[in-house]
Chain A
């Protein structure tokens, strides 16, 4: 929608044509982009119809006159000079016959305003927010960034308000702030995670000493309920995304089924105590003694525990991972220029493995980075084994990158393009992932002898920006030894 606004701003009259069910989404986007009166034509069964070409013909004929009229009908006064709307974000007072009554009214008001997540909220009174802010040395006014699609500004104070509502404790606040720093990074594609019809969600994991200090669960049930730190850190981030991104299901969050673990995301800590490896963040330029949080968009209902791998050797499990990631090869032939096909987008993979398996990998000589490199190399396809359709798709993709105008999800980044051009020659090997950095190993889960699982979270790499994966150092903590 922002694109239509760009053209209108350049003096070109136009019409935005959207599928039925996306009217509210389009109007919200038009408002956010400063052009609330954009002319809209709504067309039912517009895309994804799985219909033959002929079936779209009557639909186009039925809407032709409306589309033309929208280009010709003179502007109304409102369309020439729309009314400027102002937001008022003053404190709110709720009155009831008793505390219970006021508490109920507060919760209903917040939900009616789309400021909640459907579960009861803790009232963010000035006193409680002040208490929450005692967990950080950072100024309440400090701006962290803006959250798409609504572009609301995240400040330390606003994050603290939402953390109170989520039921978090002040010692969690620095983790929540660092996660929001990752999500508001200018290269992070939070828009796709917030708004897409695909049911994408977030993985949020803490590495380093702070996880244990604030009692995050990294053992049995690490993605489960009953752990205040895991659950309320995730929930605070959920509420921040609603309230800063100004999203709401069916209005601007168009996930067609809903996002898995919708209230708390997949929030856990790396099991540093039993991991044989260095903390996750060390491969990303941070010091072992740092505490960090990683935020990453992950696939809808695509995460699964691969418990049938129990009883197999580490090498057999590794072969299974190679086989699975090797299926990404399908993107070679499915790519067509001018078509936004999610099945042709690049992928990334997060593999959460249990400590015992990590120890076995280590015995085979693997660190996390070496494992990723190994899988990357083994899944790369020799040029001689490529089919005609695969070569066509890869050539079209490379040409598209050279010409420009491609979705980030389909592009080979400029710094990797030469390597792919080189690979697409006799003797070359074409990778199924952009780089080994798109395979992430995180250690969590049981160390007690109870069978462990491999949780496999995959996602298209990112759509509207370069990345959907960020690691941030936790800092400014006042109540813990780590993260200061």
Chain B
């Protein structure tokens, strides 16, 4: 029998906090919905339809659209968090 003992090549990661997600809404009625899109071509057509469907099926919902990089960053996140009750986060690829 032959043994080879080797060291682990992986870069260690700081223990991940594994946070839960936020409680869901009980209803969409009267809520402010944010749609964030990272700008990849053609995806805005998809979100245009979603916005129209929301307005059609939930007339009391207000929709706010946002654009920016894949990761919106802390500053924009703080702003959006103050302006919406829930969000769709669209990342093309």
Contact = CB atoms under 8 A, between A and B. Distances in A.
A13 interface: yes
A97 B11 contact: no
Interface size band for B: 35 or more
Interface residues of A, number: 114
A187 to B, nearest CB: 15
A4 B70 CA distance: 9
Contact of B21 (A38, A51, A110, A154): A38
Contacts of B6: 91-94, 106, 123-125
A254 B92 CA distance: 13
A455 to B, nearest CB: 29
B22 A12 contact: yes
A364 interface: no
Interface in B22-80: 22-28, 34, 36-50, 53, 67-78, 80
A201 interface: no
Nearest to B74: A6
Contacts of A404: 75-76
Contacts of A245: 11
Interface stretch (A80-88, A302-310, A424-432, A472-480): A80-88
Contacts of A59: 46, 49
A47 B93 contact: yes
Interface string A72-83: 111100011111
Contacts of A49: 42
Interface in A58-80: 59-61, 64, 67-68, 71-75, 79-80
A114 B82 CA distance: 41
Contact of A64 (B24, B45, B50): B50
A405 interface: yes
Contact of A71 (B13, B28, B43): B28
Contact of B19 (A34, A90, A97): A34
Given A50-B42, A98-B2, A464-B69, A13 B86 contact: yes
B33 to A, nearest CB: 8
A114 to B, nearest CB: 9
A84 B15 contact: yes
Contacts of B18: 34-36, 82-85
Nearest to A409: B69
A126 B7 contact: yes
A410 B77 CA distance: 20
A275 interface: no
B50 A6 contact: no
Contacts of A126: 5, 7
A8 B87 CA distance: 9
A2 interface: yes
Contact of B43 (A47, A50, A80): A47
Of the candidates A9, A103, A338, the one having the most CB atoms from chain B within 10 angstroms of its own CB is: A338
A95 B20 CA distance: 41
A64 B70 contact: no
Given A10-B81, A36-B18, A71 B10 contact: no
A87 B70 contact: no
Contact of B46 (A8, A56, A82, A90): A56
Contacts of A146: 11
Of the candidates A4, A82, A161, A197, the one having the most CB atoms from chain B within 10 angstroms of its own CB is: A4
B21 to A, nearest CB: 5
Contact of A4 (B5, B24, B26, B89): B89
A12 B25 CA distance: 9
B24 A151 contact: no
Given A106-B6, A464-B71, A10 B77 contact: yes
Interface in A370-422: 404-408
Given A60-B49, A97-B2, A339-B41, A3 B8 contact: no
Contacts of B78: 10
B77 A35 contact: no
A66 B40 CA distance: 22
A158 B89 contact: no
A340 B3 contact: no
Contact of A12 (B8, B47, B87): B87
A198 to B, nearest CB: 10
A318 B75 CA distance: 44
Contacts of B24: 13, 71-75
Nearest to B76: A405
Contacts of B93: 18-19, 22, 47-48, 197, 254
A92 B6 CA distance: 5
A16 B13 CA distance: 24
A74 B23 CA distance: 7
Given A6-B74, A12-B85, A81-B20, 10 more contacts: A17-B89, A17-B91, A59-B49, A71-B86, A82-B18, A84-B15, A97-B1, A152-B11, A153-B12, A407-B69
24 contacts: A1-B89, A8-B19, A10-B78, A12-B81, A13-B25, A13-B86, A17-B90, A37-B21, A46-B92, A48-B41, A71-B28, A72-B24, A79-B20, A85-B18, A87-B12, A89-B12, A92-B5, A96-B4, A102-B2, A125-B7, A152-B13, A244-B10, A340-B41, A405-B68
Question: A-B pairs with the 3 shortest C-beta distances?
Answer: A152-B11, A244-B11, A60-B49
